[in-house]
Chains A and B, each alone.
Chain A
Amino acid sequence: MSELAAFALLGDVLVRATPLILAGLAVAVAFQGGVLNIGAEGQLLIGACTSTAVSLKLGSSLGPVAIVVALIIGMLAGALWAAIAAELTNRFHVLEVISTIMLNFVALYLISFLVRGPLQEPTKIYPQTSTIAPSAQLPVILEGTRLHIGFILAIAAGLLAWWGVRNTAAGFRLRLTGANPRAARIAGMINVERTTRNVFLISGALAGLAGAIEVHGVTFALYENISPGYGYTAIAVALLAGLNPAWVIASGILFGALEAGASALQRDAGVPSTLVWVVEAAVILIVLGTESYRSRRSRRFVAPELAPAQGAS
């Protein structure tokens, strides 16, 4: 392989890794806090569509500030989408696995409506938005590739989350709630409901940021299939990392390589790219299997306790 091609492939891998790291962080932080958020996909989509809408409105008028505004809006929108699931969990004891999956489908149809309706490009031919202004696009950091500054943001978010979970009081509350909500409640030190809501908000914000960065760094427009299931792959990313945010960076890059490789394989050898889902599922199952084997040996409970099932309080 020529040096140039190798360079481009590396860029591709890291470009793919960027949303996977951010969405993987969203899942890892949530799972650590005992919140089984399967809704990173929907939160990512909502982040992508609101930030696109903002950039289409303001992109050319605000200059470079527009990117910052768009990314923040994407985070807020993702957090807001997750807040729906948080309220359903706290107030109505709805199993968050189901509510977040339902919200994923609602987000998907909302985008389908937007790109065929209010946000459709002016010629009304393609089901997508117009391209956002160049000033609202994230700058490329590696000449000759598509690698944009969003990758650096993803690494920074990973390190920040790693530090936050380990060293802050909020991080301690998060881990304690995730380890055993009942004990946390009884100990009286922790408002479990508030912690759960905060976990949802942070998780949603990270996923929303992933969506905003994907639009502003890679696609530059919104369309229906903007995510090839990043939010679902993120579950495998987070589990392989043992829910540790620092390791999420590494496992995100690994899965980025897998996905970039899978699409190259499909292009060159005709191997279906859906094969990567099979690999991801195998990774999750292997992690579950070894975890159960290890905890059987040490007789120690390591997995975060399941949130109460429906109906139980």
Chain B
Amino acid sequence: METIAPFLEGTVRTATPLAFAALGETIVERSGVINIGLEGSLICGALGGLVAAGYGSTWVGFTIAGISGAAIALVFAIFVTTLRSNQIITGTAITLLALGLTGTLYRQVYGSAGAALQISTMQPMSIPILSSIPLIGQALFAQPPITYVLYFLIPLAWWWLYRTHSGLALRAVGENPEAAIAAGVSASRFQLGAILFGGFMGGVAGGVLVIAQVGTFAEGMSAGRGFIAIAIVVLGRWHPIGVAIAALIFGAASALQYLFQSMGWGLPYQLFLALPYLLTLLVLAGVTGRVRAPASLGKWEID
């Protein structure tokens, strides 16, 4: 029990930012767009969230983190929905832009090695009764409050996608934009909205890293989580509930190190750092052949 508890707690903690980013990307990909620039939204959200939380409250921090993520995603959206540029190359440029911008701003304001901005992190909040459920209670219900927001967002995203008219329209755009346009749906506007939402969620994910976990900013601290989130969307089969479960699997892979450390296995720590990336490769190799992506995903270029 003493070894399992920190492992489960770590699983949910690591999964939280991944789930935010992947849930947003799910909506984006359902609209037929693949946003590789999600990593850029994460890093912008991390810096924006840190600065805002440093001057305002924690929740202001998360809001500004989301807006920062959406702002960089807007650049992606303009290129993809109006110019119909290649989505992969645009997304790569957005990630590079975001890493450069955040690095430059941070060094400019705080100096390259100088005093880093520190904030006190959001503390876990135990939910009475639920947190006393054996085994999973502490892991699921003694987390920072931002995690609980996810518990509402995941079913909400499911309900919107499958039970509302606009959710249906969004999915139609992702399957066959020409048909959707013929049916009177403004495909580009749906994609624009989806990309901005995805950017906001990616930004919040970055905010979670600094506000709920680390308490400070480091260059490149998003460390590929945006790309991992994209793999999570595939593993979760473009379905909000599936994506939430997939995020937990990735969280567990990262949290394995707590388990192994407590068992006294002297494995190199770099192995654990590399594990989520290796798992992404394995998952994509094992899953992609058997699941069906939205039919027009990534394909709508220069029409």
Which single residue of chain B is at the shortest CB-CB distance from A277?
A: B100
Which single residue of chain A is at the shortest CB-CB distance from B285?
A: A92
Least CB distance from B119 to A in Å reads 22
Residues on the B chain within 8 Å of A309, using CB: 34, 293, 297-299
> How many A-B pairs fall under 8 Å by CB?
161
B86:A303 contact, CB within 8 angstroms:
yes
Most B C-beta atoms less than 10 A away, residue of A36, A116, A285: A285
Assess whether B168 is interfacial by the CB under 8 Å rule.
no
- Can you give 15 contacting A-B residue pairs, CB < 8 Å? A88-B285, A92-B288, A93-B288, A97-B88, A102-B280, A105-B274, A109-B271, A112-B273, A275-B100, A277-B103, A278-B100, A284-B93, A288-B89, A303-B302, A309-B297
Assess whether B101 is interfacial by the CB under 8 Å rule.
yes
B79:A281 contact, CB within 8 angstroms:
no
Q: Name the one of A106, A275, A280 contacting B277, with C-beta atoms under 8 angstroms.
A: A106
What 0/1 readout, one digit per residue, does chain A (90-133) give for beta carbons within 8 Å of chain B? 01111101110111011001101100110000000000000000
Residues on the B chain within 8 Å of A291, using CB: 85
Residues on the B chain within 8 Å of A91, using CB: 285
A281:B97 contact, CB within 8 angstroms:
yes
Assess whether A306 is interfacial by the CB under 8 Å rule.
yes
Q: Name the one of A97, A280, A295, A303 contacting B96, with C-beta atoms under 8 angstroms.
A: A280
Most B C-beta atoms less than 10 A away, residue of A239, A277, A313: A277
Which single residue of chain B is at the shortest CB-CB distance from A99?
A: B281
Least CB distance from A252 to B in Å reads 17
Residues on the A chain within 8 Å of B90, using CB: 285, 288
Q: Name the one of B87, B100, B107 contacting A280, with C-beta atoms under 8 angstroms.
A: B100
Given A105-B277, A288-B85, A295-B302, is A98 in contact with B97 using a C-beta cutoff of 8 Å?
A: no
Chain B 45-97 residues near chain A, CB threshold 8 A: 75, 79, 83-90, 92-94, 96-97
Chain A 247-289 residues near chain B, CB threshold 8 A: 272, 274-282, 284-285, 288-289
Assess whether A187 is interfacial by the CB under 8 Å rule.
no
Least CB distance from A142 to B in Å reads 31
Which of B144-152, B153-161, B224-232 lies at the interface with chain A? B224-232
Assess whether B166 is interfacial by the CB under 8 Å rule.
no
Least CB distance from A224 to B in Å reads 10
Assess whether B268 is interfacial by the CB under 8 Å rule.
yes
Assess whether A292 is interfacial by the CB under 8 Å rule.
yes
Residues on the B chain within 8 Å of A288, using CB: 79, 83, 85-86, 89-90, 93
B97:A110 contact, CB within 8 angstroms:
no
Secondary structure call for the A interface: helix
B103:A285 contact, CB within 8 angstroms:
no
Least CB distance from B76 to A in Å reads 10
Residues on the B chain within 8 Å of A113, using CB: 268, 270-271
Given A98-B231, A281-B100, A306-B86, is A93 in contact with B289 using a C-beta cutoff of 8 Å?
A: yes
Give the interface size bracket for A toward B. Answer: 35 or more
Assess whether B112 is interfacial by the CB under 8 Å rule.
yes
A311:B99 contact, CB within 8 angstroms:
no
Which single residue of chain A is at the shortest CB-CB distance from B228?
A: A102
Q: Name the one of B79, B270, B288 contacting A289, with C-beta atoms under 8 angstroms.
A: B79
Given A94-B281, A103-B281, A278-B100, is A310 in contact with B88 using a C-beta cutoff of 8 Å?
A: no
CA distance A110 to B278 in the complex (A): 12
Assess whether B117 is interfacial by the CB under 8 Å rule.
no
Q: Name the one of A106, A277, A282, A296 contacting B278, with C-beta atoms under 8 angstroms.
A: A106
CA distance A109 to B223 in the complex (A): 12
Residues on the B chain within 8 Å of A282, using CB: 97
CA distance A112 to B277 in the complex (A): 15
Q: Name the one of B34, B92, B278, B295 contacting A38, with C-beta atoms under 8 angstroms.
A: B92
A98:B280 contact, CB within 8 angstroms:
yes
A94:B268 contact, CB within 8 angstroms:
no
Most A C-beta atoms less than 10 A away, residue of B87, B94, B274, B301: B274
CA distance A235 to B92 in the complex (A): 9
Chain A 63-98 residues near chain B, CB threshold 8 A: 88, 91-95, 97-98
What 0/1 readout, one digit per residue, does chain A (141-160) give for beta carbons within 8 Å of chain B? 00000000000000000000
CA distance A19 to B10 in the complex (A): 40
Residues on the B chain within 8 Å of A279, using CB: 100
Given A93-B289, A94-B288, A289-B79, is A306 in contact with B96 using a C-beta cutoff of 8 Å?
A: no
What 0/1 readout, one digit per residue, does chain B (98-110) give for beta carbons within 8 Å of chain A? 0111011001100
Least CB distance from B293 to A in Å reads 4
Assess whether A220 is interfacial by the CB under 8 Å rule.
no
Assess whether B291 is interfacial by the CB under 8 Å rule.
yes
Which single residue of chain A is at the shortest CB-CB distance from B84?
A: A292
A106:B299 contact, CB within 8 angstroms:
no
CA distance A93 to B99 in the complex (A): 29
Assess whether B4 is interfacial by the CB under 8 Å rule.
no
Least CB distance from B124 to A in Å reads 29
